[in-house]
Amino acid sequence: MHQGLIDERTLGRARAELGANFVRILGYFKEDGVKSLIAIEQAMRQQNAAAMVLPAHTLKGESRQFGADTLADLAEVIETIARNCVETRDVPTEALEHVAQLRPTFEATLGVLDRDSNPLAQRRNGFGKRPVAL
């Protein structure tokens, strides 16, 4: 269903812990995620490894909170490459293919999270009946 983008247990735990604040916090994740994504892409264009580290780290951590493990893993690879490049004073050329995957993965992840967090996404027909997707 989620093409491996979301860990259902982690998402369920986040939903339970955040309660009524879940949708609001998810909104912050989207806003921060877009900012991180833009910063990573800009740093890649400028071949600036140091400028890649913090937004990749931020995206990794925030993604993990919602069970967006595929996105978090991708951000972690970018962060690791960037940190290594900072240490070796090299350009982050190796990160290019990962950065290129970041935006489509981020957008697909948000699509899944939006569908799952929309209260109108599923309605029940009554007791014992399957939910009907709209």
User: So what's the pLDDT on residue 1?
Assistant: 41
DSSP assignment of 8-70 equals HHHHHHHHHHHGGGHHHHHHHHHHHHHHHHHHHHHHHHTT-HHHHHHHHHHHHHHHHHTT-HH
Backbone angles phi, psi at 50, to 5 degrees: -60, -35
**Residue-level pLDDT at 128:** 53
Q: What is the pLDDT of residue 131?
A: 53
* pLDDT tens by residue, 10-35: 999 999 999 999 999 999 999 999 99
For residue 123, list its beta bridge partners. Answer: 132
pLDDT (0 to 100) of residue 119:
60
pLDDT at 3: 64
Query: Can you give the pLDDT at residue 4?
Result: 85
pTM of the model: 0.84
> Which stretches of the chain score pLDDT less than 50?
1, 121-126, 132-134
**Angle between helical axes of 22-45 and 96-117 (0-180°, round to 10):** 160
